Structure 1
Amino acid sequence: MAITWDLETDASISLGELIVFLDAQGGRVLTDDLDSAAMMLRRLYNNRTFLSETLLQQLANPAAFKAMNPYTPQVFMLHRTEHYFIRAAVWTPPEGRTGEEIFFYEDPHDHNFELLTLGYEGPGYETVLYEYDHDQVVGDVGEIVDVRFLERTRLSRGRVMFYRDSKDIHVQFPSEDFSISINVVVPKMQMNRQYSFDMDLSPETTRAVIRENLMFHTPTVISRLAYAMGVPDVAAKLQDFVASTGDLNAQRIADEFIRELQVRPLDTA
């Protein structure tokens, strides 16, 4: 299940020291010795100035800051390497403003990457956690998925949590006040499909329904565009390409697109 640490320490480290620790793990970040990684984040929590100092350094070069942060205004990238990246995520109470959907509040979803997160500032978001067996899921929208309730908890100050990729489903509820989390994220070379779910958020819930696929397969997206522009034999070309990769997840995504398409002759004259 998702792992939670409530650690006590007076030691404090810099962001640079966390980076040295993670770099030493090479391609095994968040694979070996999670307890030590959690303690390093807890020590980073004791450094109450590193985040503002890092962001001010980035803002001194606006072009570099923009290049470093191409995502939503909720997320600030602090460091990126081949094997992992570190980011800060801002959580604010909803006020009915346009764009607040970026926070994914009250939207059950999984992640197709490993995530170690620290409650750094504010009361933190409350979350309800379930788990499921990704290998038993086809991935079709509307598919019923067996789930198991794990816990309801909060990413409070100093708490560290680890979300397992393609196993943990979590639902975030707005914090009562401005909050910040620090995340260490390990993306995968071959990412599983990522889903959002419709489900009753109670401990008794044992089933969820896939509402949306959150992971897109680039060749399929390109094929959709090519089909719309009248390119012939798009489905066959996509099938040939996906078959050559041996990627079963890509095959599922391509098959779903082709079923949607209900392949029909195109007028290319």
Structure 2
Amino acid sequence: MAYTLPGRQQTSIGLSDYLEHIKATVVAADTDSVLASADALRALSSNPTLLVDHLNRELGNLASWQTDNPYLGPTLLLGRGENFTVRANIWLPPPTGLDTQQEQTLHSYEVPHDHTFSFLTIGHLGPGYQTTIWEYDPHTTTGEDVDLHLLEHTTLPPGKVMYYRASHDIHTQHHPPTRPLRLPQPPPPPTPSPLHRTTLLRHPPPPHHPHHPPPHHPQPSNPVRPRQPPRRPTQRPPP
């Protein structure tokens, strides 16, 4: 299932130090290696001038501004290596000036989907979007009928690190009350992969809107709490 990774506040590091740390210590195909880099991501996100510094540097040359950014919507490419990409996603609350259908498509709001790559993500600024998470077994699914196991309804506030598994975890993103920003660090591929959208859900919970009481979510017969990975020594980020 999707992991929530506990940790303590880290001394902040800069983007270049973080990129070098990932290049030197993380094997993207090794889940334990990716999980061990959570503290480094937390240290990066605790840098209060991270985005200001990056934007000032990038805007120094408008001709090259985000020319290698293949992503749609309010996504800022921060850096990439041979087997990883670091980006900042801004999740906009309604209204955004778009009609409802355009907004839903652009941000994948209220659309259950998985990803074809695993990734770490952290809330950087703002309350974070709300998300409902299920898991499924890709080896037993056929066609569009998918048996889903409800895991949790949660948010991604600043400092919270989560790990989503490729082709296992399905989530639906609900509108945030204000503009949050998160830093996802997905392993390969460095270019976007198509989302697998689930078109048939069995007993999905209704979407939660920030100005209405939280809905009652149907629970499985044996509720499962968010799982945390086994403790293991982690490499400290560079000073």
| Structures share fold, TM-score greater than 0.5 | yes
2:75 and 2:193 map into 1 onto residues whose CA distance is 23
Give, as a single letter, the amino acid of the residue that structure 1 aligns with 2:33.
Answer: D
Instruction: Find the counterpart in structure 1 of residue 231 from structure 2.
Output: none
Conserved in 1, the CA contact under 8 Å of 2:90 and 2:180? yes
Relative to structure 1, the CA distance from residue 123 to residue 30 in structure 2 (aligned partners, 3 Å threshold; closer, same or farther) is farther
1:6-85 mapped onto 2 (5 Å cutoff):
6-25=6-25, 27-28=27-28, 31-85=31-85
Aligned to 2:148: 147
Where structure 1 has 5 or more consecutive residues not aligned to the other structure, the ranges are 207-269
Alignment counterpart, residue 113 of structure 2, candidates 106, 109, 115: 109
Shift of 1:193: 7.1
The aligned counterpart of 2:165 is 164
The answer to whether the Cα contact below 8 Å between 1:22 and 1:29 also exists between their aligned partners in 2 is no
**Structure with a larger share of its residues in helix:** 1
> Equivalent residue for 2:87?
87
Map Cα deviations across residues 150-204 of structure 1 (whole Å, 9 max, x no partner): 1111101110111100000001111111110001011259x99742124222444
| Structure 2 unaligned spans of 5+ | 206-216, 222-239
Question: Which residue identity does 1:154 align to in structure 2?
Answer: T
Pairwise CA distance, 1:23: 0.2
Tell me the alpha carbon deviations over residues 15-55 of structure 1, each in whole angstroms, 9 at most, x when there is no partner.
11211111013643662334431111111122010112112
- 1:4 and 2:8 matched: no
Which structure's CA Rg is the greater one?
Answer: 1
Fraction of identical pairs, as percent: 34
> 2:123 aligned with 1:122, yes or no?
no
State TM-score, norm by structure 1. Answer: 0.68
Read off the aligned partner of 2:147 and give its amino acid letter.
Answer: D
**Structure with higher RCO (Cα < 8 A, 6+ apart):** 2
1: CA distance, partners of 2:193 / 2:78: 25
Provide the C-alpha distance between the structure 1 equivalents of 2:47 and 2:74, rounded to a whole number of angstroms.
21
| Structural RMSD (CA) | 2.4
Go from structure 1 to structure 2 and tell me whether the alpha carbon gap of 1:153 and 1:30 turns closer, same or farther (over 3 Å shift).
farther
Normalized against structure 2, the TM-score is what? 0.76
